[in-house]
Amino acid sequence: MDQDQQQIWDADAAGRYDTPGTGMFAPEVLGPTVDRLAELASGGRALEFAIGTGRVAVPLAARGVPVTGVELSRPMIGQLRTKADESAIPVVVGDMATARAPGEYTLVYLVYNTISNLLTQAEQVACFRNAARHLGPGGRFVVELWVPELRRLPPGQEATVWRAEPGYIGLDTYDVLHQHVVSHHFRFDDSGRRARLDRSPHRYVWPAELDLMAQLAGFGLESRHADWDGSEFTAESPSHVSVYRLPDPATAE
């Protein structure tokens, strides 16, 4: 897994990742994310698994939350370093399922579907256990993840188009036997005749399976919402923000 992910998140990908003010960097997307994470940190330290270029960590640190990161891709860390140095946001180079950051935290978070980059159930379970190792009693682990769209996949069909707009088409191909999906991103040039293709493999996870992974690591589900604004999670929600918490014997009755 490490080698595959390093090939995906290479220097070229890192250089194109940031889209200030638009997409996942849009204020209406990033603002509620940072607000909620600052609240969940409860005045303590936060650890971001797969910190990337610091999309969330940089504004969260600016809110006064001490943030440390774990990141496998050195080019992504290099992009982060153009915004914050090691003293401001320390980063441990390694896999989010196994890497150990120094100290204890009140919050570990993993955003924007990134847990699905771990391509086996065992690795995803290890990620939960790694989060638990970094947390003190009562600490929280937050996961943002999409809900698999298998209801859009008729029998015999292996692909769904999930976005089609001028200059861009996004589609997913499914291997339902192994719970794998490959996301394909077609970006067209100004002529509209040529496209760049980027692909990334994922292991999709249902919310119920995610909850069981959490239980195996000692967590309980504290809350689940459809988004960072706290909207109700329903059967029609395309994604969720799930907050898991370790027990705190000091507050138990």
3-class secondary structure, 42: coil
CATH-assigned architecture of domain 2-148+205-251:
3-Layer(aba) Sandwich (3.40)
Is 172 within 8 Å of 159 (Cβ atoms)? yes
The pLDDT tens digits for 211-222 are 999 999 999 999
Round to whole Å and give the CA distance between 165 and 187.
Answer: 10
pLDDT of residue 11: 64
What phi and psi values does residue 64 have, to the nearest 5 degrees?
95, 5
Q: Helices 207-216 and 121-134 sit at what angle, rounded to 10 degrees?
A: 50
The pLDDT tens digits for 24-63 are 778 888 899 999 999 999 999 999 999 998 999 999 999 9
Average pLDDT of the chain is 90
Only one residue has tokens 């898991």, namely 244
Least confident piece of the model among 80-89, 99-108, 123-132, 218-227:
80-89
The pLDDT tens digits for 188-227 are 988 878 888 888 899 999 999 999 999 999 999 999 999 9
